[in-house]
């Protein structure tokens, strides 16, 4: 998405901008202006039969015995960045969390926290972006909430998104399923989202523009399941990047995880930006990347399936689960030297989602 061109070009903001160019405290006061905001902007844009119930909760059909549920809150700054915005993050981030259990995402709720003084056109761009992302991911926005905080007590807009998905398989996709000898696959290059945010936030310019990798991953996961790959574990690589995700898995399964650094794809522009800014791309956040852990004998088949999907063309086998005395994550460089990849004490890139 080209965020240089406002999404309002697609359709005009339904709120009378000439009278209410910015969010006011009255838009969160429960009266006429709040009703106008909800009905004319949110309900009309996200309209579906569940929203039309206009009740305190949505009554939803559940066609399977098992569901997955997740929630997350998005506070990214800046709101718009190359390759996405806070709206696409709120949808795809929640969809991807559901996909990591092998669930098919179905329903989302949205909670908006708006700051007094937020330009109405900015909100409209975000709302349209959310609808576009939801349509792309095949999910329905079925309920929500809106609050307005005083000027200076927010950062324009925060979004909480909760999601429900259906599990239609018998796999147990969780860290306790991981076994020694398992292979670790990744679906593409790491670090682009975090570096795209940093470049936009600080006005940095590089020879090659970096777009966020923000994308939905559920159809990639669905393809693996449909091809009968016995997935042991999935994890999307958001805050803390690849290393943090592997640490979380290692701690729960009680195994050592070993990766080959040369096998981890990183774009040259990301490498260069990380060198300039002092970051390690293995720790930088992504919004369209996952690790998939499968038995070694299934690794090549899984790799072929992933590479045949639009979100997995850059997939690689990057490592293995080891039976070792120490529960840790280690990497081997091209010279064969090992280094322990510790967890960072704090977040390397604040406010990236």
Residue 19, pLDDT > 80, answer: no
Residue 30, pLDDT > 90, answer: no
Element (H, E) at 292: strand 290-294
User: C-alpha angle 236/188/5, rounded to 5°?
Assistant: 85
How is domain 7-167 classified at the architecture level of CATH?
A: 2-Layer Sandwich (3.30)
**How is domain 175-340 classified at the CATH fold level?**
Phosphoribosyl-aminoimidazole Synthetase; Chain A, domain 2 (3.90.650)
Confidence bin at 321 (pLDDT 50/70/90): very high
Q: Which of the residue ranges 14-23, 32-41, 72-81 has the most confident prediction, judged by mean pLDDT?
A: 72-81
* Among 55-64, 88-97, 245-254, the least confident range: 55-64
Residue 6, pLDDT > 90, answer: no
Whether 175-340 and 7-167 are alike in CATH topology: the answer is no
User: DSSP secondary-structure letter at 282?
Assistant: G
Residue 81, pLDDT > 90, answer: yes
Q: Where are the domains of the chain?
A: 7-167, 175-340
Q: How far is CA 304 from CA 91, 96, 210, 295, 326, in A?
A: 28, 21, 27, 15, 32
Residue 8, pLDDT > 50, answer: no
Q: How far is CA 314 from the centre of its chain?
A: 18
* Among 40-54, 92-106, 130-144, 280-294, the least confident range: 40-54
Q: Are the CB atoms for 189 and 313 separated by under 8 Å?
A: no
Predicted confidence (pLDDT) per residue in 131-146, tens digit: 999 999 999 999 999 9
Q: What is the mean pLDDT of residues 228-236?
A: 98
Confidence bin at 5 (pLDDT 50/70/90): very low
Q: Are the CB atoms for 316 and 289 separated by under 8 Å?
A: no
Q: How far is CA 278 from the centre of its chain?
A: 24
The mean of the pLDDT values for the chain is 91
């Amino acid at each position: 998405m080209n965020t240089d061109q406002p999404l309002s070009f697609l359709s005009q903001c339904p709120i009378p901008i000439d009278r209410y160019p910015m969010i006011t405290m009255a838009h969160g006061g429960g009266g006429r202006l709040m009703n106008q905001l909800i009905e004319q902007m949110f309900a009309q844009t996200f309209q579906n039969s569940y929203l039309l119930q206009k009740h305190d909760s949505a009554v939803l059909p559940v066609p399977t015995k098992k569901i997955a549920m997740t929630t997350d809150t998005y506070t990214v700054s800046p709101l718009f960045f190359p390759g996405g915005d806070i709206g696409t993050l709120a949808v795809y981030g929640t969809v991807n969390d559901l996909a990591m259990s092998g669930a098919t995402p179905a329903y989302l709720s949205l909670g908006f926290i708006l700051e007094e003084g937020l330009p109405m056109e900015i909100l409209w761009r975000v709302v349209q972006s959310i609808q576009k992302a939801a349509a792309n991911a095949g999910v329905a926005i079925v309920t929500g909430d809106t609050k307005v905080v005083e000027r200076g007590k927010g950062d324009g807009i925060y979004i909480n998104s909760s999601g429900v998905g259906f599990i239609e398989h018998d796999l147990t996709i969780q860290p306790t399923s991981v076994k020694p000898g398992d292979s670790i696959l990744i679906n593409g290059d790491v670090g682009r989202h975090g570096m795209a945010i940093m470049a936009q936030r600080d006005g940095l310019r590089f020879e090659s523009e970096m777009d966020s990798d923000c994308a939905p991953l559920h159809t990639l996961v669905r393809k693996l399941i449909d091809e009968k790959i016995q997935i042991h574990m999935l994890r999307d690589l958001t805050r803390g990047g690849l290393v943090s995700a592997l640490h979380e898995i290692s701690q729960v399964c009680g195994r050592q995880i070993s990766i080959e650094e040369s096998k981890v794809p990183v774009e040259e522009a990301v490498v260069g930006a990380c060198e300039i800014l002092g970051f390690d791309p293995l720790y930088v956040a992504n919004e369209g990347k996952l690790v998939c852990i499968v038995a070694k004998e299934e690794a090549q088949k899984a790799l072929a399936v992933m590479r045949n999907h639009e979100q997995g063309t850059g997939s690689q086998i990057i490592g293995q689960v080891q039976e070792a005395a120490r529960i840790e994550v280690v990497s081997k460089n091209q010279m064969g030297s090992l280094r322990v990849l510790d967890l960072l004490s704090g977040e390397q890139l604040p406010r990236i989602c």
